[in-house]
Structure 1
Amino acid sequence: MNTLDLELLRALVAIEAQDSFAGAAVHLGKTQSAVTQQMQRLEDQIGHPLFEKQGRHKRLTPHGQKLLDYARHLLAINDEALRSLQQGNLEGVLRIGAPHDVADTMLPPLLAQVARASPLLQLDIHVGRSPFLMESLKRGEIDMTISNRNDPTLDGVVLRTSPTVWLCSASYVHDRAKPVPLVLADGPSLFRRLALEALDGAGIRWSPNYTSSSLIGIKAALRAGLGVTARGVELVGADLRVLGENDGLPRLPDVAYHLFIRKNVINPLTRKVFDMLKANLGLIRSAADQGASAAQSALGE
């Protein structure tokens, strides 16, 4: 049986990441014709075309997309093996933060990548509200965190862009003639701001029916039928349903979740783990998307 050439697979991943053969060539330090020849060799090896023309651009075929998924996994394993053998296993304690609403979806694949690459590393996990986690990061109380806020003073990479939806209990009856009864987080909250801006922008009346300092309290109020809230799709479950434009509510913007560390971080362990996670970003995104899709499926979406 033939063996797949990792350099050819690396070129395939680069083409998808850079969205063009020319961009991949620059990224890999090769000529465009060399990258084209690599893809021709790869197509010959698997016996199927990897790309098809769509207008002026080339897009992956179903076989190309399937091979791309395998390529990411194979390259991640290869790169992890080299790092482990060349640098040795990282040891010590890494403190990672995550907001409550993505602790079940985005955090697990990230932790799995860290544990797989550095099994001797001890993980100290902090789950809380995004603004407070960011403050803890800046104070040096944690080493890295997932956050739905953007901060140019930190080093960050986007893990996933998540839809924001209006949520209520499965039994809640929405009355468009009345002010929207909102369930809100007290204090600083991105979702609170997005909800109020969207309703005010659409000229829709609202009232703050319930506030809570925790996501657990917000979910309790929703399940009790006390009102509506704006949250990421990760919060969707069998006991909650989504309201939308057909219910008279405005569309909400997507939210980007970042992984942040401090700039000029002193601890080399933190930087090495962060760089490893960036290199394996495709795997983390894929696993996180599967978690979010499972949450949406609970509502039959």
Structure 2
Amino acid sequence: MSTLDLELLRSLVAIVGHESFGAAAVQLGRTQSAVTQQMQRLEEQIGHALFEKRGRQKRLTEHGERLLVYARQMLAMNDEALRHLQQGRLEGTLRIGAPHDVADTMLPPLLAEVVRTSPKLQLDIHVGRSPFLMESLKRGEIDMAISNRLDADLEGVMLRTSPTVWLCGAGYVHDPARPIPLIMADGPSIFRRLAQEALDAAGVAWLTRYTSSSLIGIRAALRAGLGVTARGVEQLDSGLRILGPMEGLPPLPELVYRLYVRNRVINPLTRQVFDQIRTRLHWTGNP
């Protein structure tokens, strides 16, 4: 059986990431024709087409999508092995992610604990939206991630629970006779789902007034008095206040935050740091 060429796989990942053969070629330091020839060699090796034309663009075929999953995993393992062997035992880089909501609260003490147990470790910190961080974790692009999502396919340890509350601006005027104007994250969001499910179950009318791709945008809309959002209590500050039963809003469930580690860890340092965190968690549920 032949062996897949990692450089060909790296080019495939670059093409998909940049959505262009030309942009991938620039990143890889090759000509576009050279990258095209690489994909032809890869197609010959697996015996299937990797791309198909859709309109004016090329998209992955079903076999291309399947190979992409393996390519990302193989490249992640290769790169991690090189980092570990080149940097030496107990030294290296740990890539850790946290959602915006808890980057100021749960992440700092966790980072302090990591540095305390592994002082020579370099930290590569990723802050973003929880669903995208979990996708990065599964692709091997980061090593650990804090998340409020339950994922039985990943190994994790509970950090703490956090109340979910209804937040609005300090000057927001609530009118119970009108539908609740919701301020929500666009795309996948556990807070969006919890808010809509709670309001529907309680028979409370609502409408989406404002959406944002970032927590900063949501907080700006709240401070502007545009509406209400469901969010972790960590977001409460002097410019915001909590709404509750007195305003006719239903209760919201607490969320459990966990620290997850990526699957198929081959770097013993990553495994050692995660195991140390798990055994040294003496925060009684708080990091």
Both structures adopt the same fold (TM-score exceeding 0.5): yes
Q: 1:207 to 1:236 in 2, by over 3 A?
A: same
Q: Give 3-state SS (helix, strand or coil) of 1:158's partner.
A: strand
Q: 1:261 to 1:104 in 2, by over 3 A?
A: same
Q: Give 3-state SS (helix, strand or coil) of 1:283's partner.
A: coil
In the other structure, the counterpart of 2:191 is: 191
Q: Give 3-state SS (helix, strand or coil) of 2:282's partner.
A: helix
Deviation at 1:175, TM superposition (A): 0.5
The CA distance in 1 between the partners of 2:222 and 2:175, in whole Å, is 16
Q: Give 3-state SS (helix, strand or coil) of 2:258's partner.
A: strand
In the other structure, the counterpart of 1:268 is: 268
In the other structure, the counterpart of 2:148 is: 148
The CA distance in 2 between the partners of 1:89 and 1:120, in whole Å, is 10
The CA distance in 2 between the partners of 1:267 and 1:204, in whole Å, is 51
In the other structure, the counterpart of 1:247 is: 247
Q: Give 3-state SS (helix, strand or coil) of 1:109's partner.
A: helix
In the other structure, the counterpart of 1:43 is: none
In the other structure, the counterpart of 1:174 is: 174
Q: Give 3-state SS (helix, strand or coil) of 1:282's partner.
A: coil
In the other structure, the counterpart of 1:118 is: 118
- 5 Å-filtered alignment, 1:76-155, equals 90-155=90-155
Identity %: 71
One-letter amino acid matched to 1:273: V
Deviation at 1:176, TM superposition (A): 0.4
1:85-113 C-alpha deviation (Å, 9 max, x unpaired): xxx98210000000000001100010000
Q: 1:284 to 1:274 in 2, by over 3 A?
A: farther
One-letter amino acid matched to 1:140: G
Q: 1:263 to 1:89 in 2, by over 3 A?
A: closer
The CA distance in 2 between the partners of 1:193 and 1:97, in whole Å, is 22
Tell me, yes or no, if the aligned pair for 1:89 and 1:118 is still in contact at 8 Å.
no
| TM-score using structure 1 length | 0.65
Tell me, yes or no, if the aligned pair for 1:109 and 1:284 is still in contact at 8 Å.
no
The CA distance in 2 between the partners of 1:192 and 1:154, in whole Å, is 23
Deviation at 1:242, TM superposition (A): 0.3
The CA distance in 1 between the partners of 2:283 and 2:198, in whole Å, is 33
Q: 1:208 to 1:250 in 2, by over 3 A?
A: same
Deviation at 1:150, TM superposition (A): 0.6
The CA distance in 1 between the partners of 2:280 and 2:230, in whole Å, is 31
The CA distance in 2 between the partners of 1:143 and 1:285, in whole Å, is 22
Deviation at 1:282, TM superposition (A): 1.9
Q: Give 3-state SS (helix, strand or coil) of 1:211's partner.
A: strand
The CA distance in 2 between the partners of 1:131 and 1:189, in whole Å, is 8
The CA distance in 2 between the partners of 1:249 and 1:159, in whole Å, is 28
Tell me, yes or no, if the aligned pair for 1:89 and 1:120 is still in contact at 8 Å.
no
Tell me, yes or no, if the aligned pair for 1:170 and 1:239 is still in contact at 8 Å.
yes
1:232 counterpart = 2:268? no
The CA distance in 1 between the partners of 2:281 and 2:218, in whole Å, is 31
Q: Which runs of 4+ in 1 moved over 2 A?
A: 283-286
Deviation at 1:284, TM superposition (A): 7.9
| TM-score using structure 2 length | 0.68
One-letter amino acid matched to 2:190: L
**How many residue pairs were aligned?**
200
One-letter amino acid matched to 2:111: L
Please give the root-mean-square deviation of Cα atoms over the aligned residues, in Å: 1.4
One-letter amino acid matched to 1:196: Q
The CA distance in 2 between the partners of 1:143 and 1:188, in whole Å, is 22
The CA distance in 2 between the partners of 1:284 and 1:126, in whole Å, is 26
1:178-220 C-alpha deviation (Å, 9 max, x unpaired): 0000000000000000000000000000010000000000000
Question: Which residues of structure 2 form unaligned runs of 5+?
Answer: 1-87
In the other structure, the counterpart of 2:158 is: 158
Question: Which residues of structure 1 form unaligned runs of 5+?
Answer: 1-87, 289-301
